[in-house]
């Protein structure tokens, strides 16, 4: 049984590039909840998030040959694919006149029950807790700016308009928030 390490993730990607279905199956088991959780946190809809999850793993299947380990970990790569796909859909929904976009305050799971069996999660609960604690240590205004950028795909100008704060203030919040988060994560 493979351990869930980055090296093993890369081995899986190499096997997927050779059309090994058992490898995509294993990768799916490792990352399905993380991918789905990110997707639903962004789009706020269970069905859409499921389609995004499927699309992400299909993309991994199709693009495994082009994965470059020197640029990003497998998990970072997959999260980036998930987030970009979900935000594209979110922006498309926003652009429609009938769009009913989810407000930031509603960034919680509305249609799906929470998972209780943490042992089955792909990323260890310890790591998640570490990140959550680090984010919790950020000042509220920095945390809010980062969340709007990350989970809603807003640009700094859009966040400035949304929060009715000067653009320079938003830029500072995002820069300081990311720098502090980096420091906190490096300390652990």
Partner 1 sequence: MEEPHVFDSLPAYALGSLDAPEAKMVAQHLAGCHICRSELQVFQEVAGQIALTAPQAELARDLKPRLMERIHSLNQQARPKPWLTGRLIPIGAMASLLLIGALAISNLVLWQRLDQLDVLAGPLGMRAIALQNTDAAPAASGFVIVSADGEDGVLVVDELPKLDAQREYQLWLVRNGSTTSGAVFSVDESGYRGMRIEAPQSLLTYSSVLVTIEPVGGSVEPYGEHILAGSLFNP
Q: Which long-range contacts (CB under 8 A, 24 or more apart) does 97-103 make?
A: 102/43, 102/44
- Which of 12, 13, 34, 43 touches partner 1 (CB under 8 A)? 34
Q: Is 13 in the site for partner 1 (CB under 8 A)?
A: no
28 binds partner 1 per the rule CB under 8 A:
yes
Q: What is the contact mask toward partner 1 in residues 62 to 101, using x (rule: CB under 8 A)?
A: xx--x-x--xxx-xxx-xxxxxxx-xxx--x---------
Footprint on residues 98-137 left by partner 1 (CB under 8 A): 108-109, 112-115, 121, 123, 127-128, 131-132, 135
Instruction: Verify binding: residue 44, partner 1, rule CB under 8 A.
Output: no
Q: What stretches of 44-176 adopt beta strand conformation (E)?
A: none
Q: Compute the C-alpha angle 84/88/92, nearest 5°.
A: 170
Q: Which of 33, 101, 141, 162 binds partner 1 (CB under 8 A)?
A: 33
Q: Per-residue b/e over 84-122, b at no fewer than 16 CB within 10 Å?
A: ebbbebbeebeeeeeeeebeeeebeeeeeeeeeeeeebb
- Considering the complex, what minimum distance in angstroms separates the CB of residue 174 from partner 1? 5
């Amino acid at each position: 049984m493979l351990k869930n390490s980055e090296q093993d993730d890369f081995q899986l990607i190499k096997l997927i590039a050779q059309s090994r279905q058992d490898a995509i199956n294993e990768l799916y088991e490792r990352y399905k909840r993380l991918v789905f959780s990110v997707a639903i946190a962004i789009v706020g809809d269970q069905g859409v998030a499921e389609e995004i999850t499927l699309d992400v793993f299909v993309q991994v299947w199709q693009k495994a040959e082009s994965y470059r380990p020197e640029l990003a970990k497998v998990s970072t790569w997959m999260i980036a694919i998930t987030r970009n796909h979900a935000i594209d859909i979110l922006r498309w929904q926003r652009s429609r006149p009938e769009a009913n976009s989810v407000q930031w305050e509603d960034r919680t799971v509305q249609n799906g029950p929470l998972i209780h069996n943490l042992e089955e999660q792909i990323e260890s609960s310890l790591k998640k807790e570490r990140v959550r604690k680090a984010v919790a240590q950020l000042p509220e205004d920095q945390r809010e700016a980062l969340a709007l950028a990350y989970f809603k795909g807003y640009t700094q100008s859009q966040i400035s308009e949304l929060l009715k704060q000067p653009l320079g203030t938003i830029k500072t919040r995002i820069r300081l928030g990311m720098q502090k988060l980096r420091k906190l994560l490096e300390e652990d």
